[in-house]
Amino acid sequence: MNDNKHADGGIDLSISLLKANIFSLPIVLLSIAVTYLPFRFFWGIDNLFAEFSGSKNFLLLLVFFFVGIVLHELIHAVSWRLFAKIPFSRIKFGFNVKSLSPYAHCGEPVTAKVYRMALVAPAILLGIIPVAISFVTGSVWFFILGELFTITASGDFLIFWLIRKVKNEQLVADHPERAGCKVVVKSGY
């Protein structure tokens, strides 16, 4: 973590994208344990791997995965738009080749509460809800896709942890190049 005070009094609560990917590994393992074990208990595992043994279903899974990655970043942007009224013109999308990380970057400070909501929205909509549906229905597709998108949100969960001590009403500015944000103490950033 880059926990440095800046001249303007702000505190940098960010981490490199590469380190975020590495530090997210325990979150990934926990996510798998928390979701896989209940699904296996209720529905078994026989059909879990058989569903994707054919190349057609595997290719379809890859298509859903890449579309879901784009949706994940769009959900961040829509969350900033809905909860903080940030214009889409102030939200930048990109892909960091070095860390293989897609991103959506909010160009204006928002409250920590809004930042947190935007962090977890993709995990809830694309990950947790589909996994919950799979527990009820036994759908392998909902389980696998929900699991994949819960895992892809592991960096967001890590950032949520990094900012855990920031008060909800405090302004934070999304870091333009790293995972995380800077606490805004004075006007401007």
What pLDDT is attached to residue 176?
A: 85
What pTM did the predictor assign? 0.87
Tens of pLDDT along 139-174? 999 999 999 999 999 999 999 999 999 999 999 999
CA–CA separation, 64 and 45 (whole Å):
22
Closest to 134 measured CA to CA, from 34, 39, 23: 39
CB atoms closer than 10 angstroms to residue 183? 22
Q: Which of 179, 148, 131 is nearest to 72 (CA)?
A: 148
Residue 37 has pLDDT above 90, yes or no: no
Please say whether the beta carbons of 134 and 39 come within 8 A. yes
How much is the pLDDT for 45?
A: 75
Residue length, the chain? 189
CB 2 within 8 A of CB 12: yes
Residue found under tokens 């325990």: 26
SS3 string, 151-165, reads HCCHHHHHHHHHCCC
How many CB atoms lie under 10 A from the CB of residue 147?
20
Query: pLDDT category, 53, cuts 50, 70, 90?
Result: low
pLDDT by residue (tens digit) across 76-135? 999 999 999 999 999 999 988 877 788 999 999 999 999 999 999 999 999 999 999 999
Q: Please give the full DSSP string across the chain, using - where no structure is assigned.
A: ---EE-TTS-EEEEE-HHHHHHHTHHHHHHHHHHHHHHHHHHH-SHHHHHTTSSHHHHHHHHHHHHHHHHHHHHHHHHHHHHHH---GGGEEEEEETTTTEEEEEESS-EEHHHHHHHHHHHIIIIIIHHHHHHHHH--HHHHHHHHHHHHTTHHHHHHHHHTTTS-TTSEEEE-SSSEEEEE--SS--
Cβ–Cβ < 8 Å for 14, 178 = yes
Using alpha carbons only, what angle is made at residue 171 by residues 170 and 177, rounded to the nearest 5 degrees?
130
